[in-house]
């Protein structure tokens, strides 16, 4: 059985590794009940668009409208 997970999307411009002042989309995934032990990804605009496209494609694959 898969553990329940939570996710969050945020915007940030303080990623030291990304370059100061360079805005990023921050994706956080973690197991519910284990706050602070998850995975955080700082996505640039191109990566964020690829993620959006992948989610839309997955939704179409299961017969759901991809949305806006």
How many angstroms separate the CA atoms of 42 and 28, rounded?
A: 9
pLDDT above 80: residue 16: no
List the structure tokens of 30.
């973690």
pLDDT above 70: residue 28: yes
CA contacts within 13 A on the Cβ side of 28: 14
Mean pLDDT of 47-58: 95
Q: Do 48 and 25 meet the contact criterion of CB atoms below 8 Å apart?
A: yes
Indicate the pLDDT class of residue 20, thresholds 50, 70 and 90.
low
pTM of the model: 0.77
CB atoms within 10 A of CB 24: 21
List phi, psi (to 5°) of 62. -95, 10
Percent of the chain with pLDDT over 70: 90
């Amino acid at each position: 059985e898969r553990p329940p997970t939570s996710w969050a999307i945020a915007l940030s411009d303080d990623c030291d590794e990304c370059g100061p002042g360079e805005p990023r989309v921050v994706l956080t995934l973690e197991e519910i009940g284990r706050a602070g032990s998850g995975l955080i990804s700082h996505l640039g605009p191109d990566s964020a668009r690829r993620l959006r496209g992948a989610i839309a494609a997955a939704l179409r694959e299961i017969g759901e409208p991809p949305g806006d």
